[in-house]
Structure 1
Amino acid sequence: MRIRSAKESYAADTALFDSPTQRAWLALFAVALCLFPFVADDYWLYLACLVAINVASTSGLNILTGYTGLVSLGQSAFMGLGAYTVAILQIRWGTPFWLNLLAGGFVAMLAGMLVGLPSLRVKGLYLAIATIAAGVMAHFLFSHFTSLTGGSSGLTVPPAKLFSLELDNSFKLYWVIVPITAMMLLGAANLFRTRIGRAFIAIRDRDISAEVLGISLLRYKLMSFAISSFYAGVAGGLFAYFFRAVTPESFPLVMSIFFLAAVIVGGMGSILGSVLGAAFMTLVPELLKLLVGWLPLEAMGGNAALILSPVRTIVFGLMIVLFLIFEPLGLAEMWRRVRRVFHLWPFRT
């Protein structure tokens, strides 16, 4: 029996999938995704679409924070820019679905590059505060530019149309949202097989050394902000089409904290971590709803919504702290450990 303990070529070393077993599991997962809409009810289709949207935005933030080392709390603002761009184009001009999504991504990308300008001079907490300021300015724009955004009332988005087919329910939108998210994940995974992705990682590990080696910090930091914001803008466009309504309150600061928590819980610097973290953080509130629903609230004179809101915030904060202390590499590392166990089974090291 031949045991391959090392890669035999550069192409093998940079391959996305390192074994036939991994490719087989991915194929089975793709088949499961295709069959899922035919066996799931509306609630689970709603959750699947919401998870896919959150995965798209989380993967963008992971490119910026996990791979480039730039902390951002403005992801919800970039999503809002994408959502409002899509809503305005759809309402006023009825432009095609794909064009609207790309426009939403590019508007968010331009805003992200503008917000990323201070990243050459500040980092860490100061950069996070700068991105919070960007989120505050975006919220002010959404609320007060009433002639374009509808102010606090927001905008009602008509259903998306694809090849004259109206995407007016979760079943139809599933076949658009999930493939787009899959393509975005594939693009993010391939990005780090290129010189640009390796430059991002070098900046994260040691930015001064990266600059000495000839990597332009301003160019690549702005590029990282641009790509991350483009992902957020596209996710925001999908959000607008999915919920069919866009308001300033749809994109609060807590949403940016949610995405940062998803990156930390899933695993920074890992595409798989973006998927696991976004799915985990999206499904936990639904689990909390079930747990609160089992409580005898009427006997205690309580209200489910009033109880759930602070409990959800506490649970999110607790999960972030626990993961940072006990599993800083996140769910992706836990999955890697499980894979190693099965790779070595039935042998032990």
Structure 2
Amino acid sequence: MLYREAGQFKASYQADQQIFPIRQDRVGFSLVLAFFFLLVPAVANQYWLQAILIPVLIFSLAALGLNILTGYAGQLSLGSAAFMAVGAFAAYNFMLRVPGMPFLLALVLGGLCAAAVGVAFGLPSLRIKGFYLAVATLAAQFFIIWALTKFPWFSNHSASGVISTQAVVILGYAFDTPASKYLLTLSVVALLALLAKNMVRSSTGRAWMAVRDMDVAAEVIGIRPLHAKLSAFAVSSFYCGVAGALYAYTYLGTVEPEGFNLDLSFKILFMIIIGGVGSILGAFLGAAFIVLLPIFLDNIIPQLFGGLLSSSFSSNLQLIVFGGLIIFFLIVEPHGLARLWQIGKEKLRLWPFPH
């Protein structure tokens, strides 16, 4: 009864093309933002902020970048973690080598460096597609990690290759507490998510989806596949680069090239598969699922079996349960959690009438 659009008239084309054309969606989105910006920092403890919410937000941004490339442009990629590494190490070197470099500018420049690298490794997409393109981006994963490890200049000649990030200071205010780091991460992620939502609804986003659905037909109607594919690689890598810089500065504080390994790339890929390919909301839902489920299993399995299981068997059982849940979910709803949310909204709009 509450979720109805009857009586909400659009008097202009702009009103009809809003991100949230239904009033209830706008109110709900405002309440969600108010909850995460105002209530969560006031009531959440340090563990929730630093160990759960911040990584969920950062991985949501990385998954959003991969979703732009894979979900909207149809280009497979297995190098998301490598582009995160480029953003992290680029932001670190800008902060280190440029006196007075503002953190937000270093964040943007790190993303731009990742975008440039993404475009370079996206050039094979003009000739190959599908699994062959995935292999090409897999080469980027190994090459970037090798370069960051081989050339000590990137880590400021650190013997171990580990970098310790500088203090985050914006307009004289130091972001050194979990609450302040959480608010900074949330602000950046929310801004970039809104920009992505607008971008996929623009002519650029429609070009990406046309190339994804049928690149030959898209070229016939005047869309340039070169521009569409490379712009998708650039935007996707930019988002991953910013996520990598936040991963280093607001989450860990110290990172090494091996921390951005292939396992992390697969984890980000699982996030968009579970959350929903080609969905902005799906990136957030998938990241929350992947990050929170292992924590839930860590707590629930020892309580269920007590001291009957050894620690090694318990850890393996967690992996088995985690993989089984992923397979079960993909069988039940292959379009992801975002599709379940969409189905629920459609049922609410029609309830109590039969459908």
Tell whether the structures are fold-level matches, with TM greater than 0.5.
yes
Superposition deviation, residue 348 in structure 1? 2.3
Contact 2:8–2:22 under 8 Å retained in 1: no
User: Which stretches in structure 1 are left out of the alignment for 5+ residues?
Assistant: none
Once structures 1 and 2 are overlaid, which stretch shifts more, 119-128 or 320-329? 320-329
Is 1:126 equivalent to 2:132 in the alignment? yes
Match of 1:70 in 2: 75
Once structures 1 and 2 are overlaid, which stretch shifts more, 150-159 or 331-340? 150-159
Superposition deviation, residue 122 in structure 1? 1.0
Match of 1:43 in 2: 47
Number of matched residues? 346
* Distance of 2:128 and 2:150 partners within structure 1: 30
Match of 1:173 in 2: 181
Match of 2:193 in 1: 185
* Distance 1:9-1:328 versus aligned 2 partners, 3 A rule: farther
Equivalent positions of 1:175-214 (< 5 A) are 175-214=183-222
* Distance 1:328-1:151 versus aligned 2 partners, 3 A rule: farther
Superposition deviation, residue 311 in structure 1? 4.3
Once structures 1 and 2 are overlaid, which stretch shifts more, 254-263 or 283-292? 283-292
* Distance of 1:22 and 1:70 partners within structure 2: 31
Cα deviation, 1:46-90, whole Å, max 9, x if unaligned, reads 211111111111111100000011111100000001011122223
Partner amino acid for 1:49? I
Q: 2:286 aligns with which of 277, 292, 312?
A: 277
* Distance of 1:227 and 1:101 partners within structure 2: 14
* Distance of 1:251 and 1:315 partners within structure 2: 25
Partner amino acid for 1:113? V
Q: 1:103 aligns with which of 100, 109, 123?
A: 109
Partner amino acid for 1:206? M
Equivalent positions of 1:253-264 (< 5 A) are 253-264=262-273
The alignment-based identity, stated in percent, is 40
Q: Counterpart of 2:19 in 1: which secondary structure?
A: coil
Q: 1:240 aligns with which of 245, 248, 270?
A: 248
Structure-1-length-normalised TM-score: 0.93
Cα deviation, 1:298-332, whole Å, max 9, x if unaligned, reads 554x226x743x44544454344334332121101
Superposition deviation, residue 5 in structure 1? 10
Once structures 1 and 2 are overlaid, which stretch shifts more, 177-186 or 283-292? 283-292
Cα deviation, 1:97-151, whole Å, max 9, x if unaligned, reads 1111011101100000001000011111111111111000011112221233236
Superposition deviation, residue 235 in structure 1? 0.5
Query: What is the root-mean-square deviation of aligned Cα atoms in Å?
Result: 2.2
Q: Counterpart of 1:158 in 2: which secondary structure?
A: coil
Superposition deviation, residue 297 in structure 1? 6.6
Match of 1:250 in 2: 259
Superposition deviation, residue 270 in structure 1? 0.9
* Distance of 1:30 and 1:105 partners within structure 2: 25
Structure-2-length-normalised TM-score: 0.91
Once structures 1 and 2 are overlaid, which stretch shifts more, 195-204 or 139-148? 139-148
Q: Counterpart of 1:142 in 2: which secondary structure?
A: helix
